[in-house]
Structure 1
Amino acid sequence: MAFTRLSVNVNAIAQLRNRRNLPWPSVTGLSAIALEAGAYGITVHPRPDERHIRRTDVYEIDAMLRRDWPGKEYNIEGYPTDDFLALCESVRPDQVTLVPDLPGQNTSDHGWDTVAHKDFLTDVVARIHGFGARVSIFVDADPKLVDAAKSTGAERIEIYTGPYGGSFEQTVRQMRLEEVVATAKAAFAAGIDVNIGHDLTLKNLPPLLYRVPQVAEASIGHAVIADALLYGLGETVRKYRTACGETL
């Protein structure tokens, strides 16, 4: 039975660690717990100021995955500066997710205009393919962005689900859900795979995946780490796997 694979974003763990000049909580140690509980992969988003994930974390997680979890997936996301691309090239993750973040942004809050930036993204995708990684382009929930994303050569889009996940009024939430569903269906019709991410929870994830069960991957960080305070990380990962349609 097909299900959506869960990639745990560990930036929030790194952010908590960075509040003190101490080595805990351990980003690699907790990543290992998530993987032991069945997470399909680990996602990191290294930013230039290293306020969350540090460059050293990127390498340490890579070493752990290669040593202990060779079947799991490593997804590195970020804005494609030369430094970011050089970091990815040195690690060679399974997937690079291109996000149009400005350096000072608190978190990702919009996707690429794939039409306006098609030439730029095409060059970046080709560079990433040169070191063997799959590419996902972070886009808003708008079907009009799909064809240009596919034309860059990227294998996937990641639909920014923040407006859906952050909607609490029923009419607005339903409207945002329909936007995500329409974008996913446009991608499937165009022959490009779909990831989803941002503000996804145990409550809002199942209704979305009920509509588009073909989604390949859900990248979830904030809610997983918040729920881990209640349930523990291992049990939380298992709950999210179930929410992603996996039979445990």
Structure 2
Amino acid sequence: MTDLSVNLNVAALLRNRREHPWPDVVDLARIALAAGAAGVTVHPRPDERHTRPSDVRALRVLLDAEFPDRELNVEGYPDPGLLSLVHEVRADQVTLVPDDPAQATSDHGWDFETQGAMLAGVVAGLKRNGHRVSLFSDPDATHMGHAAQTGSDRVELYTGPFGGAHSDPVAEDRELERLAEAAAAAKGQGLQVNAGHDLTVSGTRKLITRIPSIAEVSIGHALFCDALTFGMAETVRRYLGSCASAEG
């Protein structure tokens, strides 16, 4: 079954609008994990507009104390601050993204040909410290050989175009095939595959039914939108149903 990691950035973004302690990021993580999520994801940006280093540390405490079998996935651009933080909190997985600090959200993968040497050095350092490493990638099969040369364990395929095609079945099928080709190429290079961005419950089901080898999906925005209607625990259960769809 594909693992579900709940991205908590939306909760922190909402909290930061008023500088109140609610919604409580740790409490929401606890609900998601108790409902069956395999882990939580955070992307602590330098401007601290959503999750902050203090949130990441608090989540590590939660996992150690209550959910020692679950994972903390920390995303971000590999600047010294992020690398220091992931080492401090013993992130189980580090997902490296090529974001400019001003970007609203991750919207493209690494240029492995031009940035591969830099990434290889960062990946090697992270793996020496015991972290599993995933690299954010566009769904392009031709990129996977270069991605593998970095020494990374996984790639996270950017599913934004697939998620954005929800009202256009032809475009959705086209994007799904791009993802499938990229996933097959990654597997051929010895890379495991994660996926994430704009995945709804139905989109997640379609994705995993087509690509059952996906190891993990990281989902935040759409999941929190559903949680406004169904509550966090029930929403996690709905997504877990989609993650198990390939087995049904």
Please confirm whether the aligned pair reaches a TM-score higher than 0.5, indicating the same fold: yes
- Among 130, 133, 143, the residue aligned to 1:132: 130
Counterpart of 1:187 in structure 2 is 186
Matching residue's letter, 1:24: W
Q: Does 1:101 align with 2:116?
A: no
TM-score, length-normalised on structure 1? 0.97
Counterpart in the other structure of 1:214: 213
- Decide which of 154, 162, 165 is 1:164's aligned counterpart: 162
Structure 2 counterpart SS, 1:240: helix
User: Runs of at least 4 residues of structure 1 off by over 3 A?
Assistant: none
Instruction: Report % sequence identity.
Output: 49
Map Cα deviations across residues 113-144 of structure 1 (whole Å, 9 max, x no partner): 11211100000101111211000000000011
The amino acid of 1:115's aligned partner reads E
Kindly provide the amino acid, as one letter, of the partner of residue 191 in structure 1: G
Match of 2:173 in 1: 174
Give the match for residue 67 of structure 1.
Answer: 65
> 1:195-210, aligned counterparts within 5 Å?
195-210=194-209
Distance 2:64 2:148 in 1: 30
CA distance in 2, matches of 1:114, 1:157: 11
In structure 1, C-alpha distance between the alignment counterparts of 2:60 and 2:77, rounded to whole Å? 19
The CA deviation string for residues 171-207 of structure 1, in whole angstroms up to 9 with x for no partner, is: 2111111111100011112211000000001111111
Name the CA distance, whole Å, in 1 between partners of 2:206 and 2:62: 34
- 1:224 maps onto 2:223 in alignment: yes
Q: Which amino acid aligns with 1:97?
A: T
- 1 or 2, which has the higher helix percentage? 2
Across the aligned residues of Structure 1 and Structure 2, the Cα RMSD in angstroms comes to 1.2
| Distance across 2 between alignment mates of 1:58 and 1:183 | 31
How far apart are residue 209 of structure 1 and its match?
Answer: 0.9
Gapped runs of 5+ residues in structure 2?
Answer: none
Cα separation, 2, equivalents of 1:135 and 1:72 = 16
- Between the aligned partners of 2:155 and 2:19, the Cα distance in structure 1 is 37
Matched residue count: 246
- TM (normalized to structure 2)? 0.97
